[in-house]
Amino acid sequence: MPNYSPPDKTDAKGVWIFGDGTPADYPVRKSSSKLISRKRRKALMPWLFISPYLILFGLFTAFPLGFSIFLSFQEWNPVSGLSGMKFVGFENYISAYDDPWLWKSLYNTVWLAVASGVPQHLIAIPIAYLLVMALKSGLRHIYTATMFIPFITSTIAVSLIFYSIYSTQSGILNQWLLLAADAPLIGWMFAWVHDVMPLRWLGSSSLIKPAIAFVVVWKYTGFNIVIYSAGFLTVSKELYDAAKVDGCNGWQQFWHVALPMIRPFVFFALTLTIIGNLQLFEEPYVLTAGNSGGVSQSGLTASYYLYLVGWEWLEMGAAAAISWMLFLFIAIVTSLHFYFNGRKGLEGNR
């Protein structure tokens, strides 16, 4: 029986043959180059499909990352063009190490990451639990959706609103504090207000970090509530029933049944918070009005400092060195988090 399947290759004389060396039984109409190109085209097909990623990744991530390592050993003002680059060895790293602003900004970053990270979860977990336990799904959706709104609005818009709320000269926050201090029933709780007014929320080194942290908490708590609600919804009713039969009260059900079940969600939400909070930029940038990190750099975060060095002071080489140090810092913190919480978090009790 003649073999009509397409031949695999040509032999030395250019005759079409199959893989085992038998010549093709029929004349091959297509020119050999066309057949080869079809085969090659087939092999190229997947590369064609993923080429957009390969090109953009190479262009905007891989090459630049390599270049930024190179750049961190140079002194370079981008205005001077490529020829203005000067090799300085480890000098950028050494001067970054000796730079008090960098250490201050790292301290602020950690301070803000903790002060704006921990409350998010301490608020979101119980609220999500209440939403799941006490409400029907329709009403629950209205509550979660409302609390989610800050997450979809731009950080710049939100920070601008809070910038005016925090305003020292009769911003609404200070006005409310004054009103509360003069109110008949609750006045005694706010008696301290008159002594400290006017409170310079964004203009004093002790208040600016809490002020920034509050905006971050306000913006991201809703996001965590949605994640934790989804987590609590995965806990089956039978588990609560079994716990109740064993004599667990409401608190114990929350602490010993629900909480361990949502560990994977906690782990994931914490990871996002850690990575995000260590790169905080827009909130402090707007709340300090872009003014070198505010009073005595109390609102200067590491990303903010990176921006100042690179784009305001035009020292790209130094900025590249700082960005690698910041990366190292984030990597260390994240891997510590993975090391201590990862196994428990990922395994969960699902």
Partner 1 sequence: MAKTATSAFKKSSNWVVQAILIFGVLVTIFPFVWVALMGTHSRSDIFSSPPPFYVGDRLMENYAKLLEIMPFWTVLGNSLFVSVLGTLGAVLFCSMCAYGFFAFDFRGKNIIFGIMVASMMVPPVLTLIPFFLTVKFLGILDTHFALWFPGVANAFGIFLIRQYMVTSITRDLLDAAKVDGASELRIYWSVVLPLIKPALATLAIVMFIGLWNNFLAPLIVISSPDKYVLTLALRSVQSLANSPWGAVMLGTFLSMVPLLLAFVFFSKQMMAGLTAGAVKG
In the complex with partner 1, the residue whose CB is nearer, 94 or 156, is 156
Closest to 168 in 3D by CA, of 210, 197, 205: 197
Q: How many angstroms separate the CA atoms of 294 and 287, rounded? A: 8
Interface with partner 1 (CB under 8 A), residue from 6, 119, 264, 342: 264
Interface with partner 1 (CB under 8 A), residue from 15, 36, 56, 242: 56
Phi-psi label, residue 314: left if phi above 0, alpha if psi -120 to 50, beta otherwise: left
Q: By CB under 8 A, is residue 79 in contact with partner 1?
A: no
Interface with partner 1 (CB under 8 A), residue from 7, 16, 24, 71: 71
Binding-residue pattern over the window 15 to 34 for partner 1, x denoting contact by CB under 8 A? --------------------
In the complex with partner 1, the residue whose CB is nearer, 107 or 338, is 338
Taking the complex as a whole, the smallest distance from the CB of residue 125 to partner 1 amounts, in Å, to 13
Q: By CB under 8 A, is residue 104 in contact with partner 1?
A: no
| Residue 292: partners with Cβ closer than 8 Å, 6 or more residues away | 300, 308, 312
Taking the complex as a whole, the smallest distance from the CB of residue 39 to partner 1 amounts, in Å, to 14
Q: By CB under 8 A, is residue 5 in contact with partner 1?
A: no
Region 111-140 residues binding partner 1, contact defined as CB under 8 A:
123, 127, 130-135
In the complex with partner 1, the residue whose CB is nearer, 10 or 68, is 68
Element (H, E) at 127: helix 100-134
Q: By CB under 8 A, is residue 175 in contact with partner 1?
A: yes
Interface with partner 1 (CB under 8 A), residue from 16, 73, 162, 166: 162
In the complex with partner 1, the residue whose CB is nearer, 15 or 160, is 160
Region 300-339 residues binding partner 1, contact defined as CB under 8 A:
302-303, 306-307, 310-311, 316, 319-320, 323-324, 326-327, 330
Q: How many angstroms separate the CA atoms of 326 and 108, rounded? A: 13
In the complex with partner 1, the residue whose CB is nearer, 11 or 347, is 347
* φ, ψ (nearest 5 deg) of residue 89: 65, -135
Question: 155-165 and 172-182 are packed helices; what angle lies between their axes, rounded to 10 degrees?
Answer: 40
Q: By CB under 8 A, is residue 37 in contact with partner 1?
A: no
Q: By CB under 8 A, is residue 110 in contact with partner 1?
A: no
Taking the complex as a whole, the smallest distance from the CB of residue 77 to partner 1 amounts, in Å, to 13
Which whole-number Å values give the CA distances from 255 to 129, 131, 184, 233, in the listed order?
11, 16, 40, 16
Q: By CB under 8 A, is residue 180 in contact with partner 1?
A: no
Strand spans (E) along 9-111: 9-10, 16-17, 74-75, 86-87
In the complex with partner 1, the residue whose CB is nearer, 111 or 143, is 143
Which whole-number Å values give the CA distances from 242 to 8, 137, 233, 238, in the listed order?
66, 23, 17, 6
Q: How far apart are the first and last CA of the chain?
A: 60
Q: By CB under 8 A, is residue 78 in contact with partner 1?
A: yes
Q: By CB under 8 A, is residue 281 in contact with partner 1?
A: yes
Q: By CB under 8 A, is residue 237 in contact with partner 1?
A: yes
Q: How many angstroms separate the CA atoms of 93 and 88, rounded? A: 10
Q: Which two tokens stand for residue 29?
A: 């109409």
